[in-house]
Amino acid sequence: MYDHLNIEKKWQKIWEEKKINKTSEDKNKPKYYILDMFPYPSGTGLHVGHPKGYIATDIFARYKRLNNFNVLHPMGWDAFGLPAENYAIKNKVHPQEATDKNIAIFKEQLNRLGLSYDWEREINTTDPNYYKWTQWIFLQMYKKGLAYESYEPINWCPSCQTGLANEDLENGLCERCGTVVEQKPMRQWVLKITDYADRLLNDLDKLPDWEESIKEMQKNWIGRSEGAEIKFKIKNREDKISVFTTRVDTIFGCTYVVLAPENKLISNLKSNIKNKEEVEEYIEKAKNKTDLQRTDLNKDKSGVKLNGVKAINPFNNEEIEVYIADYVLNSYGTGAVMAVPAHDERDFEFAKKYNLEIRKSITSINNSEVNADKAFTEDGILLNSDNYNGLSSKEAREKMIDWLEESGHGEKKINYKIKDWVFSRQRYWGEPIPLVHCKKCGVVPVPEKELPVKLPNVKNYEPSGTGESPLAKIEDFVNTKCPKCGGDAKRETNTMPQWGGSCWYYLRYIDPKNNEALVDKQKEKYWSPVDFYVGGAEHATRHLIYARFWHKFLFDIKAVNYEEPFIKLQHVGLIIGEDGRKMSKRWGNVINPNDISDKHGADSLRVYEMFMGPFSQSVSWNTKGLIGARKFLDKVESFFSDIKEDEKEDEKILSLLHKTIKKVGEDIESFSFNTAVSAMMIFVNELVDFKNKNHFSPLKVDNLKMFIQILSPFAPHLSEELWERMNEKESIFKSSWPEYSSLLIQDKNINLVVQVNGKLRATIEVSADISEEEAFEVSSNNEKVKSYLEGKEIIKKIFVPKKLVNIVVKQ
RNA sequence: GCCGCGGUGGCGGAACUGGUAGACGCGCUGGACUUAAAAUCCAGUUGUAGCAAUACAGUGCGGGUUCGAUCCCCGCCCGCGGCACCA
């Protein structure tokens, strides 16, 4: 048992004094930027699951440095957000105070693990020198028309008392507190992410090193669909009902039109509607439903006919009924659909319930019977469709869209599921939105040289409950002069959401103290983009979409040199509690990494977390399993504390050393840390076995040093200590990754596998370059194999060089 | 419902491009050391039968392709993650 506490403390101190983790800016070397998703410094500190990704990137960073790269590997704090604010409300402590305290705890926990961050580049999103630039970016967006004021109904969390973006919901519940979210019309600032939808989608193809699963999630979230917008005339009126559909080809089966209850058109139609009371009652009822109730797929569809209103199908001039129903969403497309019950499940269900006509206009390609109890929703061949009869769905769509455009009845249209980003929060602990409202001039941006607009100190952090931020009550803050006319004006009091600061932080690490720009363009050119980004998959459709959006915008205004921020992306699999539940205070299954470091050592924790299983997979924590990692390090330490060299080296173990160097290097590159650790364990087991039998080391010290070098990214403290004990004066991390000899990793002999009819019957040690003839000869002369061949006719012989022989006999 | 990922000993998992299934680790069993325990070391550990050599079965289930399938194809079952009345 080695003294991990003293060794780890000793080297952490020396590394800090010698600034060993300071980023080198030597431009002659290739750069490598490896980044963790920075944490929110919560009040509960880190549990043992958080550092898994940090350990992996640290191993990778150290490996890259040993391979002569300039490595940028920084860390910082995503520190705005609700928990600090709620804590402030409860305890009347300024959120900054609580945040600073939490950061100190996090930092201490991270440092205990020997992570090689360059702390001189630490950033904090709540630092005015940082959020100055978050505000600056917002202003640029405002100037380009990408930030706009809107009064549309948005998601409102009655418990957090703030508006939320679509991305902040989980199954219709507030992602933070789990409260059912309401729809509330209110003034808000919105970012036009939909302008970038196409690029966000298409450029995913430029990211071959992103995991497919995450790209898929983004694609689904963006939700592009191609179709047509069709205008239906309203009988005896000038205005029209526009609908969006991806299936124009089914339009001859359209038997009615449906509007969402919130559709603005309805109030225009009032004079025509004969059953006003019934309609208004339905709209009122729909309004009072939560989103959750409305989108419950199991519920019955409901709706009301607009008596006195008829729409006209432009393709056949047929007059059809108009309904309102809450199965149509106002926020997607035009808030109205053409209903084709025969070919759409939802319309089918609705038509069945209200006994509406179901008219078939598509038949299946292979003429198989279409089930009458179900909508036929696939593509097929048109029928009952005038001169489109006989066309395939695809052909019909093209022709019909052409006709729509020629005749002015509609056009080709692309719709997205992604919505513009609701960007204002009615809370205190966020970046103030740098705008001023002037009675004369309207909305006026704060001049850039007046940034940052600092968060004022307040006494009460409670949300006002009126839909205004607590800042609205701070008169000193609110009342200002209009930058344009100099007259009395009021500041915008909404703040930015937590995702704001994290949209561009990776750029700031490159140049963290710059007062002139968010990042120096030359420095950015060298260090950007992030070569490797590691973090939780839960950010796939939030942070990772937002950050790509902002980055593309910054590229467009020429603030950065590259169009995509992250070249390679890898997600971390969670570490869950020993009981199989997510680690949380609530279940009492939280394990603090400090306790593990105290008892077993930080190096053991590092090795264990990498050894637990495949990096991207979630695994249960198991303190017993950690013992294995510790035993491994103990073995290393005890072997290296007492090396007796001998004249000759053991060839097999020397070869194994070089194979291990190769494997560990390749495994680090592919993030297969579990097998890298396993390979090192195998090597050490061989070393120890040999020594136990022969009482001297199978390898010379110079060769043994190579093993310590490949171990060093995983167990930096112990490796550094052993390196010193082997009389090295410079840090092991200033050395280089050992090169393996391709000659030494070649085996002279192999175990030839001999199969008879595909079943293993013998393994014979033979020379690796054995010929086919020789291989068959040795095999058929083998006693055991012989017994299987006796009296049988050989049909076929298969030979795989360096591997196996398979003899096929007639049964 | 749709999209993605996965299912291998008591447990975490390994297996190149279709070529010895179960590496490595935990746990367990037996032994050595010890007054004893812990630690450490040695041996064993997929199942069935057998003292053993060995034989047969075996990677969620059912089929298929192949000399040979954890890996490829077809049809299912189960688990996890994401999206979900998106027209």
Please list the alpha-helical segments (H only) found in A232-344: 265-268, 276-288, 291-294
Q: Which residue, A539, A441, A540, is CA-closest to A481?
A: A441
Q: Which residue, A47, A40, A114, A52, is CA-closest to A571?
A: A52
Chain A span 356-375 residues with beta carbon within 7 Å of strand B: none
For range A365-376, the mean pLDDT: 67
- In the block, which residue shows the tokens 């004066």? A729
pLDDT level of residue A298 (50, 70, 90 thresholds): low
Task: Identify, with chain letter, the residue nearest to nucleotide B68 (CA–C1').
Answer: A758
Residue–nucleotide distance: A293 CA to B84 C1' (Å): 14
What is the DSSP pairing of strand A123-124 with strand A169-170? unpaired
What's the pLDDT score for residue A458? 83
What does the block give as tokens for A735? Answer: 């050395």
Of A443-447, A629-633, A754-758, the poorest mean pLDDT is in: A754-758
Q: CB atoms < 10 A from the CB of A229, how many?
A: 20
Q: Is the CB of A811 under 7 A from strand B?
A: no
Chain A span 312-351 residues with beta carbon within 7 Å of strand B: 326-329, 332-333, 335, 337, 344, 346
Closest nucleotide to the alpha carbon of A758, via C1': B68
b/e sequence A160-189, b meaning 16+ C-beta within 10 Å: bbbbbbbbbbeeebbbbeeeebebeebebb
For range A469-475, the mean pLDDT: 89
Q: Which residues, 6+ apart, have CB-to-CB distance to A545 below 8 Å? A: A167, A193, A200, A218, A221, A222, A418
Q: Is the CB of A755 under 7 A from strand B?
A: yes
Chain A span 376-435 residues with beta carbon within 7 Å of strand B: 415, 417
For range A343-356, the mean pLDDT: 92
Phi, psi angles (nearest 5°) of residue A313: -70, 115
Q: Is the CB of A787 under 7 A from strand B?
A: no
Q: Is the CB of A613 under 7 A from strand B?
A: yes
Q: Is the CB of A212 under 7 A from strand B?
A: yes
Task: Identify, with chain letter, the residue nearest to nucleotide B53 (CA–C1').
Answer: A784
What's the pLDDT score for residue A297? 65
What's the pLDDT score for residue A181? 87
Q: Round to whole Å and give the CA distance between A243 and A258.
A: 9
Residue–nucleotide distance: A213 CA to B81 C1' (Å): 10
pLDDT level of residue A402 (50, 70, 90 thresholds): very high
Q: Is the CB of A538 under 7 A from strand B?
A: yes
CB A74 within 8 A of CB A117: yes
Q: CB atoms < 10 A from the CB of A749, how many?
A: 10
**CA quadruple A569, A58, A677, A746: dihedral, nearest 10:** 80
Q: CB atoms < 10 A from the CB of A632, how many?
A: 24
Of A363-377, A543-557, A572-586, the poorest mean pLDDT is in: A363-377
Q: Is the CB of A677 under 7 A from strand B?
A: yes
Residue–nucleotide distance: A173 CA to B84 C1' (Å): 15
| A524 membership: H or E segment, kind and range | helix A521-527
Q: Give the residue, A174 or A607, on which the prediction is more confident.
A: A607
Residue–nucleotide distance: A617 CA to B58 C1' (Å): 26
Closest nucleotide to the alpha carbon of A682, via C1': B24
Q: Is the CB of A621 under 7 A from strand B?
A: no
Residue-averaged pLDDT of chain A: 92
Strand partners, A808: A796
> Which region, left, alpha or beta, applies to residue A506 given φ > 0 means left and ψ of -120 to 50 means alpha?
alpha
Chain B: positions less than 7 Å from a protein CB are 3-5, 12-15, 19-21, 23-27, 39-42, 55-56, 67-69, 80-87
Q: Is the CB of A623 under 7 A from strand B?
A: no
Question: Edge to edge, what strands does the sheet with A759-767 contain?
Answer: A759-767, A749-756, A804-809, A794-800
Q: Is the CB of A612 under 7 A from strand B?
A: yes
What's the pLDDT score for residue A760? 87
Task: Identify, with chain letter, the residue nearest to nucleotide B83 (CA–C1').
Answer: A220
pLDDT in tens, A741-785: 998 988 888 888 898 888 888 888 888 888 888 888 888 888 888
Q: Round to whole Å and give the CA distance between A457 and A128.
A: 13
Count of all residues that appear for chain A in the document = 811
Q: Round to whole Å and give the CA distance between A57 and A50.
A: 12
Chain A span 270-309 residues with beta carbon within 7 Å of strand B: 294-297, 299, 301
C-alpha distances out from residue A740 to A656, A658, A664, A698, A744, Å: 10, 5, 11, 18, 8
Angle between helices A602-611 and A673-694 (to 10 degrees): 120
Position A126, amino acid: T
What's the pLDDT score for residue A1? 84
Residue–nucleotide distance: A382 CA to B30 C1' (Å): 78
Residue–nucleotide distance: A770 CA to B22 C1' (Å): 29
For range A665-675, the mean pLDDT: 95
For range A282-292, the mean pLDDT: 83
Residue–nucleotide distance: A333 CA to B54 C1' (Å): 72
Residue–nucleotide distance: A158 CA to B81 C1' (Å): 29
Q: Round to whole Å and give the CA distance between A79 and A805.
A: 63
Q: Is the CB of A802 under 7 A from strand B?
A: no
Q: Round to whole Å and give the CA distance between A103 and A109.
A: 10
Q: Which residue, A705, A607, A513, A717, is CA-closest to A16?
A: A717
Q: Is the CB of A498 under 7 A from strand B?
A: no
Phi, psi angles (nearest 5°) of residue A566: -125, 115
| Helix, strand, coil percent values for chain A (each to nearest 5) | 40, 20, 40
Q: Round to whole Å and give the CA distance between A747 and A445.
A: 71
Chain A span 226-255 residues with beta carbon within 7 Å of strand B: 227, 244-247
Q: Round to whole Å and give the CA distance between A326 and A301.
A: 8
pLDDT in tens, A74-99: 999 999 988 888 888 888 888 999 99
pLDDT level of residue A424 (50, 70, 90 thresholds): very high
Q: Is the CB of A628 under 7 A from strand B?
A: yes
What's the pLDDT score for residue A229? 96
What's the pLDDT score for residue A748? 84
> Is omega for the bond preceding A95 within 30 degrees of 0, making it cis?
no
What does the block give as tokens for A592? Answer: 């603090």
Closest nucleotide to the alpha carbon of A804, via C1': B19
Residue–nucleotide distance: A730 CA to B52 C1' (Å): 58
CB A712 within 8 A of CB A720: yes
- Is residue A369 scored above 60 in pLDDT? no
- In the block, which residue shows the tokens 């869209």? A401
Q: Is the CB of A604 under 7 A from strand B?
A: no
Q: Percent of chain A, pLDDT > 70? A: 99
pTM of the model: 0.94
b/e sequence A456-481, b meaning 16+ C-beta within 10 Å: eeeeebebbeebbbbbbebeebbebe
Q: CB atoms < 10 A from the CB of A207, how many?
A: 17
Q: Give the residue, A444 or A808, on which the prediction is more confident.
A: A444
Q: Which residue, A712, A611, A653, A536, is CA-closest to A61?
A: A712
Closest nucleotide to the alpha carbon of A295, via C1': B85
Residue–nucleotide distance: A760 CA to B56 C1' (Å): 13
Chain A span 539-598 residues with beta carbon within 7 Å of strand B: 540-541
Phi, psi angles (nearest 5°) of residue A10: -55, -50
Rg of chain A over Cα atoms, rounded to whole angstroms, equals 34
Q: Which residue, A553, A563, A568, A561, is CA-closest to A519?
A: A561
For range A122-141, the mean pLDDT: 97
Most confidently modeled range among A634-648, A712-726, A766-780:
A712-726
Position A631, amino acid: K
- Is residue A322 scored above 90 in pLDDT? yes
Q: Round to whole Å and give the CA distance between A52 and A129.
A: 30
C-alpha distances out from residue A325 to A208, A266, A328, A357, A391, Å: 43, 12, 6, 17, 32
C-alpha distances out from residue A436 to A126, A144, A187, A197, A480, Å: 21, 17, 15, 29, 8
Q: Round to whole Å and give the CA distance between A153 and A78.
A: 29
pLDDT in tens, A16-60: 999 999 998 888 899 999 999 999 998 889 999 999 999 999 999
Q: Is the CB of A688 under 7 A from strand B?
A: yes
DSSP string, A1-49: ---HHHHHHHHHHHHHHTTTTPPP--TTSPEEEEEEPPPP--TT---TT
Q: Under DSSP, is residue A531 helix (H, G, I), strand (E, B) or coil?
A: coil
Q: Under DSSP, is residue A655 helix (H, G, I), strand (E, B) or coil?
A: helix
CB A21 within 8 A of CB A564: no
